[in-house]
Amino acid sequence: MISTSLAIDSKLPWVGTTIFTVMSKLAADCGAINLSQGFPDFQAEPALFEAVTRAMNDGRNQYPPMAGLPELRQAIAGKVESLHGARYDADHEITVTAGATQALFTAIAAFVRGGDEVIVFAPFYDSYVPAVETVGGRAVYARLRFPDYRPDWDEVRALITPRTRMIIVNSPNNPAGSLLTADDLDALAELTRDTDIVVLADEVYEHIVFDGRRHLSVAAHPLLSTRSIVVSSFGKTYHITGWKIGYVLGAADLMAEFRKVHQFNVFTVNTPCQIGIADYMRDPARYLGLAAFYQHKRDFFREQLRGTKFELLPCHGTYFQLARYDAVSDLPDRDFAVWLTREIGVAVIPVSVFHHDGRDDRVVRFCFAKQESTLAAAGERLRRL
């Protein structure tokens, strides 16, 4: 160990190890079934691995263009146009990123200055606020109202000030499993009309939407598309979270600013994975089939919990199922998550960690991006409660 004598004035004094790391480690230590962290325990199709291997063997191993390989950007443009009727120019309005987390950080660093305010809806994905604070911005919190996790646009209106620089939205929402509706997007467009507020739309679960509902991208909204950076992740779509590869869409002027930071942040994203994904994306069934694939898993998992004292909340999208447990235990949610992992052998995430103020509605999050055998084994343990 090397120790330092420097007096460190931390930019993020409140940040420690994330709950995802903590719960995954606890799950491993206790031999619990890990339904906490959001990653699949199954493989992507061999065709994807073959396409990447082929690219490596063909010698495609050096830096690609800064914004991403043209063939991948073209494939993304084609997908976005066919899904949303929105035409993003592959040269100027699409950038390939090292996953959504880098895309989010880069967008925040590109547009938020010291003292600027960024409106974030709680519960929220955990990377937003540290990114805002690292660049000297201030998070201002709106609430997705429990238990249906709907935004309250009057509340948002009251939070907007001349310092508001950005609003971050996430639909389908992690952890809530809720979706923004057409009315929500219209309300957001109306609130931001005649302002310079940038909308940062985290749409990483864009293809995981259930029961015949549609994902409504801000990219398809005539007003919002002009002020938004839209973020997606191939990790979620193709079961390759460890590859850390995604992309952003945005109007050319916004994208030019995004790329100024991207260029000196990661510069480029690894070449063979970009080639492999561009090739694999040619078959739209591979992303269009994702909703049915995960809906089946959601229904299978919910069936496992039928008859237990958990109250399952609606899950319209993502691969997360929220459950109220107040009929099972009086423990605060963090303690309950640890207890469930240690004593019952199923690891979950307490939803209070997605709130800035630790708000605890006695709800935990299960990840159902797992093989049926994993979900069945977890169900068997949970039914003992």
Ligand X SMILES: Cc1ncc(COP(=O)(O)O)c(C=O)c1O
Instruction: Kindly state whether residue 241 participates in binding ligand X, applying the rule CB under 6 A.
Output: yes
Please say which residue, 266 or 344, places its beta carbon nearer to ligand X. 266
Instruction: Kindly state whether residue 174 participates in binding ligand X, applying the rule CB under 6 A.
Output: yes
Considering only 24, 36, 95, 101, the residue that binds ligand X (CB under 6 A) is 101
Interacting residues of 377 by C-beta distance below 8 A, sequence separation 6+: 33
Instruction: Kindly state whether residue 271 participates in binding ligand X, applying the rule CB under 6 A.
Output: no
Instruction: Kindly state whether residue 180 participates in binding ligand X, applying the rule CB under 6 A.
Output: no
Considering only 233, 237, 270, 321, the residue that binds ligand X (CB under 6 A) is 233
Residue where the block lists tokens 């979900």: 375
Instruction: Kindly state whether residue 68 participates in binding ligand X, applying the rule CB under 6 A.
Output: no
User: To the nearest 5 percent, what fractions of the chain are helix, strand and coil?
Assistant: 40, 15, 40
Pair of tokens at residue 282: 């040619």
Q: What does the alpha-carbon distance between residue 106 and residue 263 come to, in Å, rounded to a whole number? A: 10
- Burial class for 32, CB neighbours closer than 10 Å (0-12, 13-18, 19+): buried
Considering only 93, 133, 202, 206, the residue that binds ligand X (CB under 6 A) is 202
Q: Number of residues in contact with ligand X, rule: CB under 6 A?
A: 14
Please say which residue, 55 or 103, places its beta carbon nearer to ligand X. 103
Interacting residues of 162 by C-beta distance below 8 A, sequence separation 6+: none
Considering only 23, 34, 38, 347, the residue that binds ligand X (CB under 6 A) is 38
Instruction: Kindly state whether residue 105 participates in binding ligand X, applying the rule CB under 6 A.
Output: no
Instruction: Kindly state whether residue 74 participates in binding ligand X, applying the rule CB under 6 A.
Output: no
Instruction: Kindly state whether residue 24 participates in binding ligand X, applying the rule CB under 6 A.
Output: no
Instruction: Kindly state whether residue 238 participates in binding ligand X, applying the rule CB under 6 A.
Output: no
Q: In angstroms, give the least distance from the CB of 206 to ligand X.
A: 11
Please say which residue, 38 or 250, places its beta carbon nearer to ligand X. 38
- Burial class for 29, CB neighbours closer than 10 Å (0-12, 13-18, 19+): exposed
Q: Cβ distance 269 to 98 under 8 Å?
A: yes
Considering only 88, 105, 121, 125, the residue that binds ligand X (CB under 6 A) is 125
Q: What does the alpha-carbon distance between residue 217 and residue 234 come to, in Å, rounded to a whole number? A: 16
Instruction: Kindly state whether residue 246 participates in binding ligand X, applying the rule CB under 6 A.
Output: yes
Q: Is there a cis peptide before residue 172, judged by omega within 30 degrees of 0?
A: yes
Considering only 40, 68, 99, 379, the residue that binds ligand X (CB under 6 A) is 99
Instruction: Kindly state whether residue 203 participates in binding ligand X, applying the rule CB under 6 A.
Output: no
Q: What does the alpha-carbon distance between residue 67 and residue 96 come to, in Å, rounded to a whole number? A: 6
Applying CB under 6 A, which residues contact ligand X?
38, 99-101, 125, 170, 174, 202, 204, 233, 235, 241, 244, 246
